[in-house]
Structure 1
Amino acid sequence: MAKKKNEWFDWLKALLIAFGLAFIVRMFFFAPIVVDGPSMLPTLHNRDQMIVNKFVYRLHEPERFDVVVFHASEEKDFIKRVIGLPGEHVEVSDNNLYIDGDLVEEPFLSEQKKDMKSYQILTSDFTLEELPGNHEVIPEGHVLVLGDNRGNSTDSRMLGVIPVDELVGRTSIIYWPFQRIQTLGE
């Protein structure tokens, strides 16, 4: 009888340790997220399920073109792409991205740009000064984010620059649906 009781206790202890470890990993390291809406098309589709790396920005700063999840409000997280970094001036003119006056290629938009007619607009022209906060350069501790579906995205053009403290983490792995399993490249 005592042996059976010890066996149950060992199982209970193992389950509690497993749940505790899963809780710690979920809270501090990795978390699932479901893409909600078309703002990152064609890169991400509505209902794609992804893993968010929550500790990556504790080790280093965000990099240009990282796909990030951030707290847009207390109730809602958004997923967008980092375009501008602290200290930079960002401008879009004639569907081209300029950082500090230099043209920057956006490889993740190349298919969209290739399929466009000459009169179509992928990204409406803007300068950093025209965005909420009318900054001349992106302040320290902030990034500028845009959705890949520039015509249908609530991003820094409406929200202003995003504090790095509001970034939940970087995401680069789609794990569901099965036919879309992939890691994101540039």
Structure 2
Amino acid sequence: MKRDNIMKELYNWLKDMFIALLITIFITTFIFQNTQVKGDSMNPTLQDGNFVIVNKFIYNFFSPKKGDIISFKYSDNPPQYFIKRIIATEGDKIDIKNNKVYINDKEIEENYILEPMEELNIGDMEFPIIIPKDNYFVMGDNRNLSLDSRYKEVGLVHISKITGKAFFRIWPLNKIGFLK
């Protein structure tokens, strides 16, 4: 009798663990992704070693927009993800001149930038660029230390490469909260 109870308890425990595993796999595959920030390209918004939650399903319902912080697959190394901010969307004309960013001939105001972009860091893309359909121009908030759309190595980010919108920082605990 005791052996039957032990086997039943073990079966129930294994069944619960299996269901929890399936739910976890479903959530991390289709809904949310935990991503670690590597490098200083998003300072001051995000720092090296921060962990953020990426909403993987939002862009099934809404288009990415300017200002969104996104996670996307890096073309040269698909298992690697980059986290950058969308600066320009489909149809926008982006230009970088005099160390400033212009969208549709208007200088953009970016209160998340700590220091001006240095002349060396305007990239190797030819400006101005008109953003084609389903593509996005992304930049790190720390313009002087960011490999982003200014460089041919990254280039424009196609919607198919975007894995989601980074929206919540979970680490470090003293900086936990929604991203702006």
Range into which the TM-score falls when normalised by the shorter chain = 0.7 to 0.9
Unpaired runs of 5+ residues, structure 1, are 114-120
Query: Is it true that 1:154 corresponds to 2:158 in the alignment?
Result: no
Residue of structure 1 equivalent to 2:35: 33
Residue of structure 2 equivalent to 1:165: 160
Distance apart, 1:70 and its partner CA: 0.6
Contact map agreement 1:91 1:126 (CA 8 A) in 2: no
Residue of structure 2 equivalent to 1:143: 136
Distance apart, 1:93 and its partner CA: 3.0
Residue of structure 2 equivalent to 1:131: 125
Q: Distance in 2 between matches of 1:54 and 1:176?
A: 19
Residue of structure 1 equivalent to 2:85: 81
Q: Distance in 1 between matches of 2:164 and 2:99?
A: 28
More helix by percentage: 1
Contact map agreement 1:174 1:180 (CA 8 A) in 2: yes
Residue of structure 1 equivalent to 2:56: 54
Q: Which amino acid aligns with 2:125?
A: L
Q: Which amino acid aligns with 1:46?
A: D
Name the SS for the 2:44 alignment partner.
coil
TM-score after normalising by structure 2: 0.87
Between 1:6-15 and 1:139-148, the stretch displaced more is 6-15
Contact map agreement 1:80 1:155 (CA 8 A) in 2: yes
Distance apart, 1:122 and its partner CA: 2.0
Q: Distance in 2 between matches of 1:171 and 1:55?
A: 11
Residue of structure 1 equivalent to 2:8: 6
Distance apart, 1:24 and its partner CA: 0.5
Q: Distance in 1 between matches of 2:140 and 2:52?
A: 16
TM-score after normalising by structure 1: 0.84
Name the SS for the 2:13 alignment partner.
helix
Contact map agreement 2:95 2:129 (CA 8 A) in 1: no
Unpaired runs of 5+ residues, structure 2, are none
Structure 1 residue aligned with 2:19, among 17, 39, 50? Answer: 17
Residue of structure 1 equivalent to 2:103: 99
RMSD over aligned CA atoms reads: 2.1
Q: Distance in 1 between matches of 2:129 and 2:168?
A: 34
Distance apart, 1:3 and its partner CA: 4.1
Identity rate of aligned residues, in percent?
A: 31
Q: Distance in 2 between matches of 1:87 and 1:105?
A: 19
Distance apart, 1:4 and its partner CA: 3.7
Contact map agreement 2:100 2:117 (CA 8 A) in 1: no
Q: How many residues are aligned here?
A: 173
Structure 2 residue aligned with 1:108, among 107, 112, 116? Answer: 112
Q: Distance in 2 between matches of 1:21 and 1:27?
A: 10
Contact map agreement 2:94 2:128 (CA 8 A) in 1: no
Name the SS for the 1:77 alignment partner.
strand
